[in-house]
Structure 1
């Protein structure tokens, strides 16, 4: 009888292993080259390097990869310039809340070709999918102006260049980090797309911190705004006085 049970176990074991492999989640491994970026007074910009590997081949007939990086949320005001008697003055304005200070997207193919609009909206994969809260003046013009300003500053990046793939399963993406980037916690999402669905996702954390003199000045400006303003006025006055003395002697 023992031999019968052993034979039955040997027959059923491969089937059980195959079934377990079939229900196992898709494999995705990703990492950042650095988890901390230090912003000093000499900081001129950097880049975010995301790399990883997948279990299946990457390509049109296989899996696809999407990388989304978002920075701390902030509020921004967009004002419309109006010409009055030859002078440009501020007109209507719109305030946007929950604006990502940094937003960057990279993918192996254009995202609309990989995912439907509903899932793109849920995952905020696209500048047109950002749920910005608009107060004050209404209309799409202000939202478009906000997008143009952020893109010109390099703070919103919709990467046309796809993620680079090596060996069929290895991938990496380089996303620019401008000198004007805000400090805080950045969320990096790496998503695996299969059959027009996100089947695996990995979240990574990037810390952008101010250090040295930049951190000291930022702390004073935030915690002692009156003292910071007075110091700026005194420094500006001293610079003007020194400049006038130097040019007067020349």
Structure 2
């Protein structure tokens, strides 16, 4: 068991120069580790450089390092999924010279963030049936259509949703993004844009050999607001009427000050 702990410590030391540590003031708001270390004989051991991404006023995005070790050579697939929600996709059409929304589709269970990286192209690592079952890869994502009425081209709306998420930097797929430091040690960096929503994420790691999953591990990841941003967010949720009143008064005060300064100039 101590050998496994030394291995994880070695990986952490390798990762330290590559990823900046979170600010000392960033504290996990109920974000506790929900799983213990892998058994000593586990064929796969993984961890994250940090389990908390703190969003502050100067947050512009960050990279998070995932590292691990395997017992024997194999292929690695890393999938990071964000919290799910409902999304609406609208299609606009030209009507009398105006672009108006003519059709729409509503999907449930849409991950707010989705990233997948692997040692090789997914088709060379695992069969399509396995990838589809685990929803690995952008092409394997399945959203539940919950819109009213019948939309004949639901699949086109689903692809449009994935493309839009990709434009926003929230969905991305990388081939060869997992780097091996030797025959058994590996690491990969996951990029999170500034628009990544708060919530609980899951980092899934799969070890695959001969078209079969040999081992898999899932680690929690939390993105949370910190500092004054979190206090304002909590205030808006706990006392929405008072928050709205303060917002209106602040806007009126800012307008009055601007008018005074312009009058003096």
- TM-score over 0.5 for the alignment? yes
Return the alpha-carbon distance in structure 2 between the equivalents of residues 244 and 84 of structure 1: 43
TM-aligned CA deviation for residue 77 of structure 1? 1.4
- What is residue 168 of structure 1 aligned with on the other side? 183
Assess if the C-alpha contact under 8 Å between 2:112 and 2:197 holds in 1: yes
User: Structure 2: how far apart are the matches of 1:86 and 1:232?
Assistant: 39
Question: TM-score if structure 1 supplies the norm length?
Answer: 0.80
Corresponding residue of 1:94: 105
- Count of aligned pairs: 222
Instruction: Give 2:52's aligned residue.
Output: 36
Aligned to 1:73: 84
Separation of aligned partners in 1, 2:49 and 2:166? 24
Instruction: For 1:1-250, list aligned pairs within 5 A.
Output: 27-57=43-73, 63-136=74-147, 138=151, 139=153, 140-250=155-265
- SS where residue 183 of structure 2 aligns? coil
Q: Secondary structure of the residue that 2:169 maps to in structure 1?
A: coil
**Residue 146 of structure 2: SS of its match in structure 1?**
strand
Which structure 2 residue ranges, 5 or more long, are not aligned? Answer: 1-39
Which 5+ residue runs of structure 1 have no aligned equivalent? 1-23, 58-62
TM-score, normalised to structure 2, is 0.76
3-state DSSP class of the match of 1:198?
A: strand
C-alpha RMSD of the superposition: 2.1
Deviation readout 1:194-233 (Å, 9 max, x if unpaired): 0011110111111211111111222233334444444444
Contact 1:25 1:200 in 2 (8 A): no
Alpha-carbon distance in structure 1 between the residues aligned to 2:248 and 2:87? 26
Deviation at 1:87, TM superposition (A): 2.6
CA distance 1:85–1:126, change in 2 (3 Å): same
